[in-house]
A and B are shown apart, each in its own frame.
Chain A
Amino acid sequence: MVEISDLSFGYARNENLYQQFSIHFKSGQIYGLLGQNGSGKSTLMKIIAGLLFPDAGNCVIDSINSKERSYQYFRNLYIIPEEFDLPDLSIHTYMKIYAPFYEAFSTGQFEDYLKEFEINPEEKLQKLSYGNKKKVLLSFGLASNVRVLLLDEPTNGLDIPSKKTLRKLIASAATPERCFIISTHQVHDLENLLDHLVIISKNKLLLNESISKIAQEISFVPFSTKPAENETLYYEKSFTGHIGIIPNESKEEGKINLEVLFNGIIAQHAKFNQLFNSNK
C-alpha cells in the first residue's frame, strides 16, 4: 500500500536523516511508529503525506508517486499532525467546507465520533482547547474514510477517557482496506491497539515486526533481583525489582510491554535483530 524504497532525505546538505531507507506499510494494519526524539518519525510521516520530497528514492501509494503531488495521491490520505492550524469556523462549517474534498467522507460517522468525544458540532474551533481541537481533527480524519491515515502523536493533549475513546474509535474504523500509521512517544496509550511495530533510529530500521510475531519470539519476565547479563536480551529496573526480555521458547503469545521493548531495542538492537532474523 505505502511503499518507500531507497529513500534518501536530509534537511541540510551532506546531513542525511535517511539514506537508502526502505519500508512497506500494508493495508489492513495499524502500525506503531516509534523512535527517539529526532529519529525522523515526523519526517517520515511528512514524506508519506507528500509534504516533503525525498532527495532520492520514492514514496508510492497505490502506484502513485508522492512527487507528482496529484489529487489521486492525496484523496486517500489524511494526516493529523502534532501541530496544526484550524480556521475560525464552527465545527459544522468546517465539515461542510472540507468534507467535499474527501469522496468517502461520512457526515454520520463524523457526528458520531464527535458525540463519542463529547464535542458539540456547533462550537467554534478557535474557542476549543488544544485537546478538543485534536478530537475534532481525529473525528474528521476517521470519518474521511481515507485508506491511509497518518497520526502524529495523536494522544498528546487528550485526557485519559479520550485516549480510551480514541483507541476504541481507531479499532472500530480499521478495515482490511485501510492502513493506520501512528507515530507516538506515549506507547502505553496504544497498547493492545497496534498490529505492527516499527522502531526507527536515524536512518536505521531497528524493528519492523508484527505484534503477533514479537509476542511469539519474546516474553517479558519480572525479576526480583538484578538478572545476569546472559540471562536476558535486555532488562531494566521496575517498581517491583527488574523486568527483563527473554526469548519465548514456548512460542505462545503473551502480553507485550511496549515501553520495555522499545528501550530494549534501542539499547540491544543487534541481539534482537539476531533473534528475529534467526527465526524467519
Chain B
Amino acid sequence: MKSFLSQIESFRFQRVMSLILEYFHRNKKTLIISSIALYLFLFCCLLLFKRFGESGKERDIFQYLTQLSCISLISSILSVHYFSTLRLKPGSISALSLPCNPIERLLGAILVTSIAFALIYFFIYSVAFFSTFPFFRSYHLEFINFDPLGIGWISIIGPIISTPTLFLWGGLFFKRSPWIKTVLATIIYSVICIAITATIFYLIDPNWDAFKELIKPKESEYLNGKIATLSNSPVNFLWSFLLMSIIVLASYHLLKEKEVK
C-alpha cells in the first residue's frame, strides 16, 4: 500500500506520454501495415453492405456484428501483444529498467489500446466509409449504427473499453499463446457465472424450466424484459465496473512483480 501511494505521488503524465510515444515508434511498421489492411477490409465490407444489403433490421444486425467482431478481434490482438517485449528476456531488461512506475506503464497501455485505438479505428473507418462514395450515384445515409457522423458508435463503447483491459491482463498473465488462453479463460469464467446463476435460480425455485427460459430469452417476453432491466440496472453497471477494476488491479500487480528470469 505504501509503495502504491508513493507511486501515485511520483506519477507524471508526461512519462505516460513518453511511454506511448515509445510504443508507437517501436511498433511503427506493424501499426502502419495493420492500418492499411484494416482499411482495405473495412472498405470491402462497406462496399458489400452498400451494394447488396437490403435496408432493414437484419442488415443493421449484420453490420453491428461485423463491426463488433472486427473491433474486438483487433483490439484484443493489439492489447494482448502490448507488453510482448516483457515476455522475451532481452526486451524485458530494457523495458522494465526504464524509469517509470507500473501505474504509468499500465495507464499508457490502457490509453493506447482503448482510446488511441478507438480514435484510429474510427479514423480508418471514416476514410473507408467516405472512399466508397465514388462507387455510388448518390450519398445515402443507410448506416444507422455506423455512420461516422452518427451516434451509433455509443453502442460499442463497452467492448472498446473492456476488451483491452481484459487482454492486457491476459498478455501479462500468460507467457505462451496469451490470446487463445485469455479467450479460453473468458469462456471458463462465463461458464462459471452461468453455473452460479443456475444454482441460485435452482435454490430459489427448483424448477429448471425457468432457467431454460432464461437461456432462451426470445421465447419469453417477460424474461426478456427482466434481462433488459437487469442489464441496464445500476447493479450490472457496478458489477462491470468492479470486474474491470479487479482486472486492472491484477494487471498492475503483474506489472509490478514482473521479473526477468
Whether B97 contacts A69 by the Cβ 8 Å rule is no
Tell me, rounded to whole Å, the shortest Cβ–Cβ distance linking B194 to chain A: 38
**Interface size class, chain B:** 35 or more
With beta carbons under 8 angstroms apart, the residue of A11, A49, A83, A101 that contacts B18 is A101
Residue of B nearest to A88 (CB): B29
Q: In whole angstroms, how far apart are the Cα atoms of A74 and B105 in the complex? A: 13
Contact with A along B78-97 (1 / 0, CB 8 A): 00000001001111111011
Whether B257 contacts A97 by the Cβ 8 Å rule is no
Q: In whole angstroms, how far apart are the Cα atoms of A88 and B22 in the complex? A: 12
- Residues from chain A with Cβ under 8 Å of B98 in the complex: 74, 98, 101
Of the listed stretches A50-58, A175-183, A263-271, chain B binds A50-58
CB-CB under 8 A for A71 and B26, given A51-B259, A77-B97: no
B50 located at the interface, meaning its Cβ lies under 8 Å from any Cβ of chain A in the complex: no
- Residues from chain B with Cβ under 8 Å of A81 in the complex: 90, 93-94
- Most chain-A Cβ atoms within 10 A of its Cβ — which of B22, B97, B256? B97
Residue of A nearest to B29 (CB): A88
Whether B3 contacts A70 by the Cβ 8 Å rule is yes
Whether B100 contacts A71 by the Cβ 8 Å rule is yes
With beta carbons under 8 angstroms apart, the residue of B7, B15, B92, B102 that contacts A101 is B15
B137 located at the interface, meaning its Cβ lies under 8 Å from any Cβ of chain A in the complex: no
Residue of B nearest to A87 (CB): B26
Tell me, rounded to whole Å, the shortest Cβ–Cβ distance linking B89 to chain A: 7
- Residues from chain A with Cβ under 8 Å of B232 in the complex: none
Contact with B along A36-75 (1 / 0, CB 8 A): 0000000000100111110000000000000111111011
Whether B100 contacts A52 by the Cβ 8 Å rule is no
Whether B21 contacts A52 by the Cβ 8 Å rule is no
Contact with A along B1-36 (1 / 0, CB 8 A): 001001100101011001001100110110000000
Q: In whole angstroms, how far apart are the Cα atoms of A74 and B101 in the complex? A: 9
- Residues from chain A with Cβ under 8 Å of B90 in the complex: 81, 83-85
CB-CB under 8 A for A74 and B18, given A52-B260, A68-B6: no
B261 located at the interface, meaning its Cβ lies under 8 Å from any Cβ of chain A in the complex: yes
A102 located at the interface, meaning its Cβ lies under 8 Å from any Cβ of chain B in the complex: yes
Contact with A along B174-186 (1 / 0, CB 8 A): 0000000000000
- 6 closest cross-chain pairs (CB), A and B: A85-B90, A74-B99, A51-B260, A85-B91, A75-B99, A68-B3
**24 A-B contacts (beta carbon < 8 Å):** A11-B261, A46-B93, A49-B93, A51-B93, A51-B96, A51-B97, A69-B3, A70-B7, A71-B15, A71-B101, A72-B10, A78-B97, A85-B85, A85-B88, A85-B90, A85-B94, A87-B25, A88-B26, A88-B28, A97-B21, A97-B22, A98-B98, A101-B98, A101-B99
Q: A70-B3, A71-B10, A71-B100 known; 6 other A-B pairs, CB under 8 Å? A: A51-B97, A51-B260, A67-B3, A71-B104, A79-B97, A85-B91
> Interface on B for A, CB 8 Å cutoff?
3, 6-7, 10, 12, 14-15, 18, 21-22, 25-26, 28-29, 85, 88-94, 96-102, 104, 256-257, 259-261
